[in-house]
């Protein structure tokens, strides 16, 4: 079977690494982007170079907009001939004390990080249920497992993804669909741009394996979990954090 995947937020970081990893693994790949249009073009060109015989599609869609997400899923299904896998990766973070968090901050994080996954799963599931096969992967965070100080809204949204993934795994298992959550630790992407060199050194030192993670490491886990052979893994939270959460 020629496999197809849709990855949300594929213009950079973990999402971009996932686009390239799935293309390398022989998938037809659609990815959404909202910001960083020129970065999305570069990811598209790199993926096409890696897999010239595969369909690679870049679709502009705000993860927080149900209509745009649903349109992107429909287009991916039509142009790639159905979706076997969905990776809900689009996300934003914010470092702020809880007492400074406004309604707007809270809603923005929830709408991109949690609602966005709900919209994408809801749009992609009917096709997967119809074909009795699917792999859904939600990119959460170790803060969704443990809670992060100064990242309360983000932690709540990422914990929400864990609940979403576990419940969906139970509901959709009988339809041949697995749902798993990947919870990265500190991964060296643009999301870390606000951290100083000193902060990064401290983070690396605090991590048992002594370094930050790479987007490619997370991408490889996503490809592994999306594989047909991973069908007995479902409802799990796969921590990938260098030992920060044990
Ligand atoms: P990043 O900022 O480099 O990339 C985020 C991606 O999401 C980008 O492609 C961006 O365009 C996209 N995005 C943001 N808002 C969007 C929106 N409204 N609609 C569509 N796309 C949108 O960050 P990253 O580190 O690659 O993060 C990817 C995922 O991994 C996020 O869900 C993040 O919360 C999670 N994560 C990252 C880390 C880390 O340390 N970098 C740790 C744990 C979890």
Could you tell me the pLDDT band of residue 191, with boundaries at 50, 70 and 90? confident
Answer yes or no: is 143 within a domain: yes
Q: Residues lining ligand 1, judged by CB closer than 6 Å?
A: 8-15, 32-36, 62-64, 89-93, 112, 139, 141, 184, 186-187, 189-192, 215
Residues 75-110: tens digit of each pLDDT: 999 999 999 999 999 999 999 999 999 999 999 999
ipTM score of the complex?
0.99
Instruction: Give the Å distance between the CA of 171 and the centre of ligand 1.
Output: 27
* Closest Cα to atom 36 of ligand 1: 141
**Section 17-30 average pLDDT:** 98
Inter-CA distances, 126 with 33, 70, 74, 200, 217, Å: 23, 12, 11, 43, 30
Is 4 within 8 Å of 83 (Cβ atoms)?
yes
Question: Which residue(s) pair with 138 in the sheet?
Answer: 88, 181
- Identify the pLDDT of residue 35: 84
**Section 149-163 average pLDDT:** 98
Answer yes or no: is 63 within a domain: yes
Could you tell me the pLDDT band of residue 193, with boundaries at 50, 70 and 90? confident
Answer yes or no: is 229 within a domain: yes
Could you tell me the pLDDT band of residue 121, with boundaries at 50, 70 and 90? very high
Q: What number of other Cβ atoms are within 10 A of residue 62's Cβ? A: 19
Which atom of ligand 1 is closest in space to residue 187's alpha carbon? 40
Answer yes or no: is 246 within a domain: no
- Identify the pLDDT of residue 36: 84
Strands (E), the chain: 4-7, 28-33, 56-60, 85-88, 134-139, 177-184, 237-240
Answer yes or no: is 117 within a domain: yes
Which positions are annotated as active-site residues? 154
- Identify the pLDDT of residue 27: 98
What domain range includes position 143? 4-185+214-240
- Identify the pLDDT of residue 128: 98
* Closest Cα to atom 39 of ligand 1: 187
**Section 49-57 average pLDDT:** 98
Answer yes or no: is 200 within a domain: no
- CATH code for position 48: 3.40.50.720
Answer yes or no: is 207 within a domain: no
Residue to substitute in 15, 119, 215 for testing ligand 1 pocket (most ligand atoms within 8 angstroms of CB): 15
What's the rounded Cα separation, in Å, for the pair 55 and 201?
40
* Closest Cα to atom 24 of ligand 1: 13
Total structural domains in the chain?
A: 1
What's the rounded Cα separation, in Å, for the pair 59 and 37?
10
Q: At what angle do helices 13-24 and 37-50 cross, to 10 degrees?
A: 20
* Closest Cα to atom 26 of ligand 1: 13
Inter-CA distances, 71 with 6, 121, 136, Å: 12, 13, 18
E strand or H helix that includes residue 15: helix 13-24
HEC readout, 77-91: HHHHCCCCEEEECCC
- Identify the pLDDT of residue 157: 98
Q: At what angle do helices 152-172 and 116-131 cross, to 10 degrees?
A: 10
Q: What is the mean pLDDT of the chain?
A: 97
Statement: residue 206 has pLDDT above 70: yes
**Section 27-53 average pLDDT:** 96
What's the rounded Cα separation, in Å, for the pair 202 and 145?
21
- Identify the pLDDT of residue 195: 87
Statement: residue 1 has pLDDT above 70: no
Answer yes or no: is 156 within a domain: yes
């Amino acid at each position: 079977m020629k496999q197809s995947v849709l990855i949300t937020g594929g213009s950079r970081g973990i999402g971009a690494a996932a686009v390239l990893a799935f293309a390398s693994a022989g998938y037809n790949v659609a990815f959404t982007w909202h910001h960083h249009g020129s970065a999305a073009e570069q990811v598209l060109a790199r993926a096409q170079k890696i897999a010239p015989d595969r369909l690679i599609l870049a679709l502009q869609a705000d993860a927080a907009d149900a209509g745009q997400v649903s349109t992107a899923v429909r287009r991916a299904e039509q142009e790639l001939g159905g979706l076997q896998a969905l990776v809900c990766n689009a996300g934003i973070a914010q470092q702020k004390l809880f007492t400074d968090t406004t309604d707007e901050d809270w809603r923005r994080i929830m709408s991109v990080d949690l609602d966005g996954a709900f919209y994408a799963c809801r749009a992609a599931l009917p096709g997967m249920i119809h074909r009795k096969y699917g792999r859904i992967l939600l990119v959460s965070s170790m803060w969704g497992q443990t809670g992060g100080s100064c990242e309360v809204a983000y932690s709540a949204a990422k914990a929400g993804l864990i609940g979403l993934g576990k419940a969906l795994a139970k509901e959709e298992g009988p339809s041949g669909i697995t749902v798993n959550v990947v919870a990265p630790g500190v991964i060296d992407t643009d999301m870390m741009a606000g951290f100083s060199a000193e902060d990064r050194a401290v983070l690396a030192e605090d991590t048992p394996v002594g370094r930050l993670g790479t987007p490619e490491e997370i991408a490889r886990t996503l490809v592994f979990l999306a594989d047909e052979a991973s069908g007995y893994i479902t409802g799990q939270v796969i921590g990938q954090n260098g030992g920060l959460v044990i």
